[in-house]
Structure 1
Amino acid sequence: MTDPFDLPDLPLPDSVRDSARQRILSGIAQRPRASKAPLLIAASVVVLAASATVVASTLQHADKLSPGAASTTTTSSWARGGAGANSYNAHEGWAAALDSERCGRAATSVHPPRDQWQPIVTSSLDGVTLIAFRGPTGPFFCELTASSVSLSTPVADYPHEGVGQVLFRTANGSLAGVLTPGVRDVSLIREHSGGFSEAVPGLVAASLFLAPNAMSGGDLVLKDTVSGLTQRFREAELPPKAQATVDQPKPPGERTSDSGRRLGSCLDAASLHPPADAGNWQPGALIDTMPGHTIQLGRYGSVLGVCDSHSSPLFYTLDTTERVPVASTVFRGYNLMVDIKPDRDPKLNVSALVGVVNDEAVASITLSQQGQPDRQAVISNRTFAVWGLITAQDARYQVTAKDAAGKVLDQVWAGGR
């Protein structure tokens, strides 16, 4: 008898595989902490019909909020909001004062006076902040990056049928809109040829949904994940991408060096989920890993970008304001696993340690591991990367930062059980 579970291995399309990998990698770095105790997300293995994969192992915690003038209510956890609440650092009834001011400066005559803006929820992902407001003429949305702001027009009348309506989208892939009363949890789905699709969760608050930096271009399916009801929008039926106003100009990214060109090419290829303000990213450390394989880092504000040359290439982001596996007073690091094979001796699996340097005095970073030679990290533009970390489950390692005179600035242990 034929085994019903003996199914043929079907390769995923490149775009779907890379998108899935990117979502897994960035998503791991965004999960908030459920309690006050640090939560270690163990390094895991993702097999997506590719000969190599990269996984980030991170420590996460809930954001600390500063008071916002728009509201006295702040939350660092989200009791409602569906699956998206765990993805977007959601804060109900609150908007940061500076964010509210920037959104307010983009307002026109169609918007209500600022004192009538009621913040519904603030969400963020990978350097993109998306805020929902409500005024006397209906809900509206504001997207902010480090350099730009986009503001939608309030919408008072919209159809109350199906799952909901998309009212706002941006070049950074943010999507937002209204939901039919009773819809409590939604996902946003983009379908690809060959029957494959990718989905991201929507954050639900007060019958509105938000998905910052979600997906760019193509038809969209809005799905009620409770009832299973779906609603399809052809791209032509979606609102045009909102015009962004550059209100805080940043210097253009360097693209003349080898690292700059590599980073630029990688950013240009990241069409599925374009990084915010791609033209402003600065190149960082570049290292060789496996033969013909490189990792190129980039940095933009608090966001670290990783360009994996093995496939497409793949670009994904890690928020360095979150807690990380290698947390030091002068640097913050992530363990990036490359070419992990489950059936191989764990001691033969190696990875890269990458991160950001937060102290200009750091001149060297050394990776030390028992039975292995010390390895020096490449440091460039306040980022660092080093290849050769043994990733066996019980393997511990030490990372040492020194200044130009050889003085130890900090030394931390990580890894192991």
Structure 2
Amino acid sequence: MNDLFDLPSERPLPDAVRIRARQRVLNGIRQDHGRGRWAMVAAAVVILALVVSAGSFAIRQGDSRPVGESGPPPTGNTWLTPDEQYEVQRGVAPPAVAARCAAQRPAEAVRWQPLLTASLHGVTVVAFATSEGPVFCETTPATVTVSAPAGGDTGGDVRATFISSLGTVAGVMNPQFTTLSVGPGAGSAERSLAGVENGVFVVPNGLPRGSRGLTFYVGGSPKAQGGARSVPPGAIPAAVPAVTDRPGTPGERSTPDGRRLDDCFARSPFPVADAADWQPTYSQALNEHETAQLGKYGSLLAICIIDDSPRGSGVRLKIDDETAGNGFRDHEATPGPLLFTTSVFYAFRGKPSGASVSDTVAVAGMTKSPNVVSVSLSRRESAPVQSPVHNGTFLLPDVDLGEKVPGAEPTSTITAYDAQGQVLGTTVISL
């Protein structure tokens, strides 16, 4: 018997899924009952939890429209596979990445053959086949980390042979298994999907800080039984130190924004690639207890919500670079040449049950054109939300998902302006 119905424990939905699920419930309630009676019921949607078959999929909603096509994005859920989440390339490695990896082991690298490349949050990992077993190489814009050859023994079903200081986990597994997710052990419900290819697996930037041991959730097959495999702390490899081969420019840390960004990265559950090189761009108080801090690093955008309320969650960090796995792009601005967005919930309210609910969103974004100096978000009911561009980023706060016209499509419009106030372009966002 395999583990088809051996489902993992519940975990919170990503922001994208919360937004879409909530919008669907709102629309249905409005159609049935009209205005004024649905707000408290619909707000509870954000406490939904997601149950996923081990190692197979994450949930998202699809938007396959060509760039520039008008009209609201389509609704409906699709599945986000590990290949999509990590932009997996099979049998190849980006030449620049392969060259940096080879420079660390020049004598051996001439015989390396790429098996799998996976990327997330500025971290790229390549699995190479060698005669001594797989070698794993992790790169960021500034660093490179190379493992020793893994050897062919899986130690049973699956074995981690490489762990990095950025939370990358990689190793070997029984090739009869084709799906895998990895958690930090100690009964934690946290887990990350793995990219899998021909008996090797890769999870870039997927292991939280302070993890003790590992838990592998192996997807079953007709030939092998899946399930959870726990690995104690003493049986996992030590993190391999990184080599800084391309030093970057340190980010500013002397101002309140710089210190706030640094503190957010330090308190984030997951390590941040090249954390010292990120530049703070803008901050804004969202309410009495919450502040949004933006930062950027190359094409990466970070939005951190710092919550200092008595029951606050500390920091909530989201990093995005407009790829599918880094933001579940379905509910964000339609792709285009001017900007991209990433949205987060804030202003959560406690309920007697202990759950937290929110229907307030902040839309952060990064511009792609230096001609964009301000942006606005317009909706059918509320006044436009406006923001100047700060060091290539912007923030549109206080977007209330409860402000909707009954029966209308859940869309808003983002407009980009130049220095003269002329419209450079518009894009649709599903809020």
Q: Same fold (TM over 0.5)?
A: yes
In structure 2, which of residues 190, 195, 206 is the aligned counterpart of residue 198 of structure 1? 190
2:213 matches 1:219:
yes
2:134 matches 1:139:
yes
Which residue does the alignment assign to 2:31? none
Which residue does the alignment assign to 1:84? 82
2:202 matches 1:210:
yes
In structure 2, which of residues 290, 302, 307 is the aligned counterpart of residue 293 of structure 1? 290
Which residue does the alignment assign to 2:365? 355
Shift of the 92–307 alpha-carbon distance from structure 1 to 2, 3 Å rule, reads same
Partners in 2 of 1:59 and 1:295 — Cα distance? 28
Shift of the 404–209 alpha-carbon distance from structure 1 to 2, 3 Å rule, reads same
Which residue does the alignment assign to 2:339? 331
Using the TM superposition, give the Cα deviation of residue 407 of structure 1 relative to its aligned residue in structure 2, in angstroms: 2.4
Instruction: Describe the SS at the equivalent of 1:388.
Output: strand
Instruction: Describe the SS at the equivalent of 2:47.
Output: coil
Using the TM superposition, give the Cα deviation of residue 212 of structure 1 relative to its aligned residue in structure 2, in angstroms: 0.6
In structure 2, which of residues 247, 258, 275 is the aligned counterpart of residue 278 of structure 1? 275
In structure 2, which of residues 387, 390, 401 is the aligned counterpart of residue 380 of structure 1? 390
Using the TM superposition, give the Cα deviation of residue 288 of structure 1 relative to its aligned residue in structure 2, in angstroms: 2.5
Task: Note if contact 2:125-2:139 (Cα within 8 Å) is conserved in structure 1.
Answer: yes
Task: Note if contact 1:328-1:411 (Cα within 8 Å) is conserved in structure 2.
Answer: no
In structure 1, which of residues 164, 167, 172 is the aligned counterpart of residue 161 of structure 2? 167
In structure 1, which of residues 260, 263, 280 is the aligned counterpart of residue 261 of structure 2? 263
Which residue does the alignment assign to 2:96? 98
Instruction: Describe the SS at the equivalent of 2:266.
Output: helix
Map 1:183-194 to 2 at 5 A.
183-192=177-186
Which residue does the alignment assign to 2:413? 398
Using the TM superposition, give the Cα deviation of residue 256 of structure 1 relative to its aligned residue in structure 2, in angstroms: 1.5
Whichever residue aligns with residue 336 of structure 1, its letter is V
Q: How many residues align?
A: 349
Task: Note if contact 1:287-1:378 (Cα within 8 Å) is conserved in structure 2.
Answer: no
Instruction: Describe the SS at the equivalent of 2:250.
Output: coil
Using the TM superposition, give the Cα deviation of residue 395 of structure 1 relative to its aligned residue in structure 2, in angstroms: 4.5
Task: Note if contact 2:88-2:116 (Cα within 8 Å) is conserved in structure 1.
Answer: yes
2:54 matches 1:46:
no
In structure 1, which of residues 15, 21, 24 is the aligned counterpart of residue 14 of structure 2? 24
Structure 1 gaps of 5+ residues are 1-15, 30-40, 50-55, 62-81
In structure 1, which of residues 389, 392, 397 is the aligned counterpart of residue 399 of structure 2? 389
Whichever residue aligns with residue 203 of structure 2, its letter is A
Using the TM superposition, give the Cα deviation of residue 326 of structure 1 relative to its aligned residue in structure 2, in angstroms: 4.3
Using the TM superposition, give the Cα deviation of residue 58 of structure 1 relative to its aligned residue in structure 2, in angstroms: 7.9
Map 1:67-82 to 2 at 5 A.
none
TM-score, normalised to structure 1, is: 0.74
Identity %: 28
Which residue does the alignment assign to 1:249? 247
Task: Note if contact 1:121-1:205 (Cα within 8 Å) is conserved in structure 2.
Answer: yes
Partners in 2 of 1:120 and 1:327 — Cα distance? 30
Deviation digits for residues 128-187 of structure 1, max 9, x if unmatched?
11110012222101101111111112233x534422221111001001111134232222
Task: Note if contact 1:175-1:214 (Cα within 8 Å) is conserved in structure 2.
Answer: yes
Partners in 2 of 1:237 and 1:143 — Cα distance? 22
Using the TM superposition, give the Cα deviation of residue 117 of structure 1 relative to its aligned residue in structure 2, in angstroms: 1.5
Partners in 1 of 2:160 and 2:199 — Cα distance? 12
Using the TM superposition, give the Cα deviation of residue 341 of structure 1 relative to its aligned residue in structure 2, in angstroms: 7.6
Task: Note if contact 2:301-2:366 (Cα within 8 Å) is conserved in structure 1.
Answer: yes
Using the TM superposition, give the Cα deviation of residue 365 of structure 1 relative to its aligned residue in structure 2, in angstroms: 1.4
Which residue does the alignment assign to 1:309? 306
Shift of the 405–265 alpha-carbon distance from structure 1 to 2, 3 Å rule, reads same
Partners in 1 of 2:364 and 2:165 — Cα distance? 29
Instruction: Describe the SS at the equivalent of 2:102.
Output: helix
Shift of the 197–397 alpha-carbon distance from structure 1 to 2, 3 Å rule, reads closer
2:358 matches 1:364:
no
Shift of the 336–59 alpha-carbon distance from structure 1 to 2, 3 Å rule, reads farther
Whichever residue aligns with residue 422 of structure 2, its letter is K
Which residue does the alignment assign to 1:320? 322
TM-score, normalised to structure 2, is: 0.72
Partners in 2 of 1:168 and 1:106 — Cα distance? 16
Task: Note if contact 2:157-2:173 (Cα within 8 Å) is conserved in structure 1.
Answer: yes
Which residue does the alignment assign to 1:72? none
Using the TM superposition, give the Cα deviation of residue 281 of structure 1 relative to its aligned residue in structure 2, in angstroms: 1.3
Between 1:129-138 and 1:364-373, the stretch displaced more is 364-373
